[in-house]
Amino acid sequence: MIPFKDRMADSQRMQRAIQMKWILMTYAKRFIHLPHHSSMEIRKVGIIGAGTMGASIAELFAYNGFDVVMKDQNMDLARSGYSRIQKILSDMKRINDERPEKEISRIEGYGLKLTEEQKEKIRTANRSNVDVDIILKRVKITDQYSDLSGCDLIIEAAFENQEVKNGIFSDISDLSEKAIVASNTSSLSITEMAGHLKRPEQALILHFFNPPYLLPLVEVVPSVYTSDEVRDLAFSLISHMKNHRENMVPVLVKEREGFIVNRLLIPLINSASELLDAGIASAKDIDIAMKKGAGFPMGPLELADMIGIDVVVDVMEVLEKAFGEMYKPSVILRRMREAKQLGRKTKIGFYKY
């Protein structure tokens, strides 16, 4: 058995390495650029849409050391998004503050009695150096597109509607002269959006997953216009970032409706809702079955409530249009959307919150 003091030393070395990595990523790699003499680099990021995803993406970039400008239709919506960022960071701080005592309890749960000196070493090793106030100061809010003019990357995070997104791309067409313009769409055509920019080769999809400060995956989807330099820079950018848990992970995907995850996952949610509607099992039992039988971290109906029932139906409709009747949204999903029972964001969906 490894002596306790050696295990403590290993823990401290690991924690110092983690802290140093965070510092280096925040400052030394704050301006992320490609090798091979790329002329493009990302210093400042604009986010269009201060809703759940927009605010979460803004927090993620601020957490990684970037200056962020978050824009919405009016300042009330922008301020609401800023409040979401404050809550994300407040929750992170609370979890980090609780971690040392949980680690002490975990060790003592094995029957070891720690001295006060050992407990203090554990507290020091598990103490977070992330400064919430510094992160918040990196985020500015606005209701004017003109305030995005200094951004090197602009990410659109409005709701899933092709015409709405096309309109936003038209509104920021001039900004594509200098900035990469990305959409966070989960299923819509980036080629169609890019056609509304002065420089369509500057556009691509960066599809983050909710919540991005915990889920590391980003689907990088070029359009038929996207330049190799923009594609590679976007992939490199995500590769150098981390969320509250781990390094971000980009995957390169061809532009097809649903990409990878939603093409597989949303039809599964649709099938689970049909099982519920047919009375085959309760929502709770369907979710338990998939968690305990298939190893899912969340059941499909729990996940639908987190994603939003409206978003699930929107994606299914896109898939149905592209691939046919087998992707038709279930009756219960469509009725829930009509009733505004959209999941967590309306406090009722397949479950009550």
Contact by Cβ (8 Å): 152, 41: yes
Q: Is 186 a catalytic residue?
A: yes
Helix (H) or strand (E) holding 262: helix 261-277
Contact by Cβ (8 Å): 184, 57: yes
What is the CB neighbour count within 10 angstroms for residue 229?
16
Helix, strand, coil % in the chain, rounded to nearest 5: 55, 15, 30
Spatial distance between the Cα atoms of 194 and 173, rounded to a whole number of angstroms: 9
Contact by Cβ (8 Å): 255, 203: no
Q: Indicate the burial class of 156 (C-beta count within 10 angstroms; 0-12, 13-18, 19 or more).
A: buried
Catalytic residue, candidates 176, 183, 184, 186: 186
Q: Taking Cα atoms as reference points, which of 77, 28, 26 lies closest to residue 50? A: 77
* φ/ψ bin of 279: left (φ > 0), alpha (ψ from -120 to 50), beta (otherwise): left
Catalytic residue, candidates 59, 160, 219, 257: 219
Catalytic residue, candidates 262, 270, 273, 330: 262
Spatial distance between the Cα atoms of 154 and 47, rounded to a whole number of angstroms: 6
Q: Taking Cα atoms as reference points, which of 253, 273, 254 lies closest to residue 265? A: 273
Q: Is 223 a catalytic residue?
A: no
Backbone angles phi, psi at 252, to 5 degrees: -90, 130
Q: Is 96 a catalytic residue?
A: no
* φ/ψ bin of 343: left (φ > 0), alpha (ψ from -120 to 50), beta (otherwise): left
Catalytic residue, candidates 64, 160, 201, 207: 207
Q: Is 36 a catalytic residue?
A: no
Indicate which residues carry an active-site annotation: 186, 207, 219, 262
